[in-house]
Amino acid sequence: MLAEEPEAVPLAGGTDLLVHWPAHHETRESTYLDLGQIEELRSHRWTEDALILGGTTTYWDLIRDPRTTRDLPLLVDAARQVGAVQIQARGTWAGNIANGSPAADGVPVLMAYDAVVVAQSERDSCEIPLSEFYLGYKEMRLADDQLITRIRVPLAPRANQRFDKVGARRAQAIAKIGLATVEAEDGWRVVAASLAPTVRRCPAVEALLDSGEAEYSLDGFETALATDVSPIDDIRSTAEYRRRVAARLLFFGPGSREA
Amino acid sequence: MIQPVNGLVSGVLPVAGDLPVTGDTITFGWRLNGEETQIEVDPAERLLDTLRYRLGLTGTKEGCAEGECGSCTVLMDGLPVNSCLVLSFQAAGRRIDTVESLDEAALAPFLEGGATQCGACTPGVVITANWLLANRDLLDTHHIRELMAGNLCRCTGYDGIVDSIEAALEADDPAVVGDAS
């Protein structure tokens, strides 16, 4: 269908697209492609080396699968901090990716787990590492006729897994800062949300953690962060608050773990 | 069964309602409050509007239109959702349970526990709370407050709501609707 009508907007849980729906007269005129009745997109499954999410797998689907807590705990941590139960029951991981918000909750933990996006169209099927998916603010490697049909999350030995979301409230809050940190076998993954136009890896912070220093300093994290992210003042927070608090989260989190 | 107060008939709309008219209607079957029925809606209609203005089930409220306040909460396939963020046709073939499906007995703990003052949040609160009571295994991993965080209340300060749920848990009230799967 997307091949015939590339301007059609895919609709899954609707927890972002339908916000203030009655006021959005123009958007109501658009064509939407409802994915809810496509059964094959909903289910997730575990293979020997990965968790495969469907195109419409919800946050609640993973919260209620005990294996996720055991093998990919950050996915559950993040899912439980999305909105509230009513949103978790409808919101989808793929929708969070395709919506492209820099303040996304699902994207940072997926990225910290080296997730791969599978995007399909009539023409072909592509696999794009999530860490390479975003090109700029709301710009992504997804053509108009492509649909995210699966997200592959590799299983691997991981340690020191953390997800921190700083928000105005414990629930129903958009992140002022999001940080997902994981120590993988080949090095650290540090993923930041709400600190730049896109959710992104922080290579300078990762290099700092990979260097294996005996003792880290708050200044060291602030300096590394400054090359990786570019926080701004907006309605939710200030650049200075974001810089300082993100550095503290890194210092007291991965920077303070037992070697 | 709590009967709707208004005698609204499908197709007869109150002035306050603002149902969109974007094109050809969609007709589908669903299981609404335990009954298999057919319904005809505009594709752009929200579940909240269909329930309130087409069906006269005004127990479900509109508080924010953005999925924050939870006063529009209904159960969809046994899970609480914000009906302001569901297009009605997305409920085709599904189970929808509104506050009108709740037994008077299910409301008793909330009246006794100080869970309601103005009542604006109450339908959403009791639907979510009832779901919680029907799925106690959730308390193995979640606190009551986390499960109720999607239902905002401006009057009670939440303690009365939590106390009522705890009292209902202790009284071992039987499950009424919903499942957590």
The tens digit of pLDDT for each residue in A136-172 reads: 999 999 999 999 999 999 999 999 999 999 999 999 9
A11 in contact with B at a CB cutoff of 8 Å? yes
On the question of pLDDT at B151 being above 80, the answer is: yes
**Residues A93 and A150 reside in one and the same domain:** yes
3-class state of residue B123 by DSSP: helix
Can you tell me which residue has the tokens 């700083």?
Answer: A166
Q: Region B113-128: what's the mean pLDDT? A: 96
Domain's final residue, options A134, A154, A174: A154
Query: Domain holding A13: CATH number?
Result: 3.30.465.10
**What residues of chain A lie within 8 A of the CB of B86, using their CB?**
14, 18, 90
Do β-strands B26-32 and B95-97 pair in parallel, antiparallel, or remain unpaired?
A: parallel
Same domain, A134 and A163: no
Residue A1 lies in a domain: no
Structural domains of chain B, ranges and CATH numbers in brackets = 26-98 (3.10.20.30), 102-171 (1.10.150.120)
Q: What is the pLDDT of residue B9?
A: 37
Count of C-beta atoms within a 10 Å radius of residue A244: 15
Q: Which residues of B touch A64 (CB under 8 A)?
A: 180-181
Per-residue pLDDT tens digits for A53-75: 999 999 999 999 999 999 999 99
* pLDDT, tens digit, 9 for 90 and up, residues A116-137: 999 999 889 999 999 999 999 9
Question: Which one of A11, A64, A84 has the shortest CB-CB distance to B181?
Answer: A64
For A147, the 3-state DSSP assignment is: strand
As for how many domains chain A has, the answer is 2
Q: Say yes or no: A15 and A138 in one domain.
A: yes
> Is some CB atom of chain B closer than 8 A to the CB atom of A43?
no
Q: How many CA atoms lie within 13 A of A104 on its CB side?
A: 30
Any domain includes A60:
yes
Q: How far is CA A245 from the centre of its chain?
A: 20
* Mean pLDDT score, B18-39: 88
Q: Do residues A88 and A80 lie in contact, with contact meaning Cβ atoms separated by under 8 Å?
A: yes
ipTM of the complex: 0.94
Give chain A's mean pLDDT.
94
Q: What is the mean pLDDT of chain B?
A: 87
Label each residue of A11-49 as H, E or C. ECCCCCCCCCHHHCHHHHCCCEEECCCCHHHCCCEECCC
Euclidean distance between CA atoms A126 and A119, whole angstroms: 5
Q: Which residues pair with A92 in a beta bridge?
A: A58
Closest CA to A93 of A125, A123, A62, A138: A62
pLDDT digits (tens, 9 = 90+) for A77-129: 999 999 999 999 999 999 999 999 999 999 999 999 999 999 999 889 999 99
Could you tell me the residue range of the domain that residue A72 belongs to? 9-154
**Residue A86 is nearest to which of B22, B90, B150, comparing CB atoms?**
B150
Q: Which among A154, A182, A214 is the end of a domain? A: A154
Write the Ramachandran bin of B120: left for phi over 0, alpha for psi from -120 to 50, otherwise beta.
alpha
Chain A residue closest to B17 (CA)?
A22
What are B's interface residues with A at a Cβ cutoff of 8 A? Answer: 18, 20, 22, 44, 46, 65-68, 70, 73, 76, 79-82, 84-87, 89-90, 92-93, 128, 141-142, 146-147, 149-152, 180-181
Amino acid at B98: T
Of A18, A36, A171, the CB nearest to B85: A18
Neighboring chain A residues of B146 at a CB cutoff of 8 Å: 80, 85, 170-171
